[in-house]
Amino acid sequence: MKKRRIYTSYSPNTRIKDLLLDIAILFQPYSWFRGYYPSKIEEWFRNQYMTDNVFTYNYARSAIYEFLRAAGIGQNDEVIVPAFTCVAAINPVLWTGAKAVYADIDETYLSPGLGSFQKAFTDKTKAIFIQHTFGLSGDLEKTVDWAQEKGLIVLEDCTQVLNPFSQRQKILGTLGDAAVFSFGRDKVVSGVDGGVLVVNNSEFVEKMRNQQDLLKYPPTSWLLKEILYPLLWAKIKFGMKFGKLGKLLHYIFTKSGLLTRATDADEKLGLKPSYIPARLPNALARLAYRQLNDLEELNKHRAEISSIYDSGLKAISGVKRFSFPAGTILLRYPLLVRDAEKLNKYCTDRGIVLGDWYKTPVAPAEADINAAGYHSGDAPIAESVCSQIINLPTSININSSDAKYIVDVIKEFYLERS
């Protein structure tokens, strides 16, 4: 039996050097808020996406909210959103007073195709969100052409993709009027949290700048918990090696409120916390910037791990892989499987904690899906995918022997049932 536990989530990007940087940051409270790292991040995006119009925030959800406000979206407007997403992407629509209308997804790339957007379109539609789920992408150009014909604003959700080095993926982030990127704890590059908006349509820039000038920093208590997050998870994971100690630490850190979740309790009810929107603090920008500088290596690693899953999981009955063009970098490796819940448990019992994006069309499962404007049956394909999907880790802390072990455990599970 393998001893090391394998996690898909829970601070997956944190390497030893990130942890050391985090500790250094913890002891430099004078540079937590102000410093030059947010502008370093902006410069990085300006260079990659060849635009001057880059804005940074404490979350991608803040960026989405600020963009919708600048675009004048509000009461009586509708925004078409993918029915396989995170509540953090939907709430900003609701906070403007607009309605989120769900477009069902295409099962081959887990985001809506043109037909779904057309079906959800009404004379109240003002904007659409296109999303690169896990890094997969569909026939987006056609959708964007249609949206432009209809005079709709297009927000490109790049929170799960960041790969300007591949010729094919270079364009991701340039298709819509604006693109949003995330430095969330489980994202391509992590500052624990953080968001970037790249505005491609100059029409919105002045408003964005005016709004940005009025933004404040998030509270110190919020920031302290963000800085502690990688350290707390490192302690919990270490404790897990001694059985119950890890669980005890997790319980203590969660109950004390020190260990934060990706979305807080209010957000799961559709409410807006007071610290959204806010500026990106220097401390989080510094963490993210360290990983941005290693992005090519981090992405290459994800591709190598994905190829182990790809070849290892071929031809297993009960497992459906996704096909994707060369150059695609998967944030997590998605699979549609038979008996997803049983497989999940089987893997957990063998030390593998699989990813759960997404078990509900508006995730996480504890989110109030009705508050998000989703009604059961709105998106039957998404609902069916939610009941079958699991995701495997591709992050830098997963090595090739971990990936082969995951493959072996999944194979063993289906072999026992054949």
Ligand X SMILES: Cc1ncc(COP(=O)(O)O)c(C=O)c1O
Catalytic residues: 187
Residue 82 CB, nearest distance to ligand X (Å)?
8
Residue 210 parent element (H or E): helix 205-214
| Of positions 83, 88, 161, 197, contacts ligand X by CB under 6 A | 88
Torsion of CA 85, 329, 306, 263, to 10 degrees: -30
Phi, psi of 123 (to 5 degrees): -75, 0
Which one of 154-162, 243-251, 345-353, 377-385 is the stretch in contact with ligand X (CB under 6 A)?
154-162
Per-residue CA distances from 271 to 78, 97, 318, 346 (Å): 18, 12, 39, 36
- Smallest distance from the beta carbon of 3 to ligand X, in angstroms? 32
- 130 Cβ contact list (under 8 Å, min separation 6): 82, 111, 112, 140, 143, 144, 154, 155, 156, 157, 175, 176
Cβ closer to ligand X: 157 or 226? 157
Return the bridge partners of 127, or none: 79, 153
Beta bridge partners of 319: 337
Comparing CB distances to ligand X, the nearer of 89 and 336 is 89
* Closest CB 232 distance from ligand X, rounded Å: 18
Near ligand X in 26-65, by CB under 6 A: 59-61
Q: How far is the CB of 208 from ligand X (least distance, A)?
A: 17
- Three-state DSSP class for residue 72: coil
- Site for ligand X (CB under 6 A): which residue of 22, 157, 226, 402? 157
Residues 99-138 that bind ligand X (CB under 6 A): 131
- Residues 261 and 222: their CA atoms lie apart, in Å, by 12
Annotate each residue in 159-188 with x if it binds ligand X (CB under 6 A) or - if it does not, as one string. xx---------------------x-x----
Per-residue contact flags (x/-) with ligand X for residues 188 to 227, judged by CB under 6 A: -------x--------------------------------
How far is residue 92 from each of residues 31, 179, 315, 381, 411, measured CA to CA in Å? 29, 15, 42, 24, 41
Q: Which of 11, 48, 85, 360 binds ligand X (CB under 6 A)?
A: 85
Please name the residue ranges forming H helices in 106-168: 114-120, 140-150
What is the C-alpha to C-alpha distance for residues 62 and 92, in angstroms, rounded to an integer? 7
For ligand X, which residue of 188, 262, 343, 362 counts as binding (CB under 6 A)?
Answer: 262
CB of 192 closer than 8 Å to CB of 166: no
**What's the token pair of residue 376?**
């059961």
Q: How far is the CB of 70 from ligand X (least distance, A)?
A: 17
Helix (H) or strand (E) holding 178: strand 178-182
At its nearest, how many Å lie between ligand X and the CB of residue 142? 21
Residue with smaller CB distance to ligand X, 240 or 369: 369
Task: Pick the closer one to ligand X by CB: 9 or 125.
Answer: 9
Q: Which helix (H) or strand (E) holds 306?
A: helix 295-312
User: Which residue stretch of 110-118, 152-160, 220-228, 327-335 sits at the interface with ligand X (rule: CB under 6 A)?
Assistant: 152-160
C-beta closer to ligand X: residue 267 or 378: 267
Return the DSSP state at 219: P
Nearest residue (CB) to ligand X, 133 versus 282: 133
Which residues neighbour 33 within 8 Å (Cβ) at sequence distance 6 or greater? 217, 223, 281, 282, 283
Between 89 and 189, whose beta carbon lies closer to ligand X?
A: 89
Q: Is 288 in the site for ligand X (CB under 6 A)?
A: no
DSSP letter, residue 405: H
Among 21, 68, 79, 89, binds ligand X (CB under 6 A): 89
Nearer to ligand X, 182 or 299 (CB): 182
| Contact range with ligand X by CB under 6 A, out of 40-48, 97-105, 156-164, 200-208 | 156-164
Site residues, ligand X (CB under 6 A): 59-61, 85-86, 88-89, 131, 157, 159-160, 182, 184, 195, 262
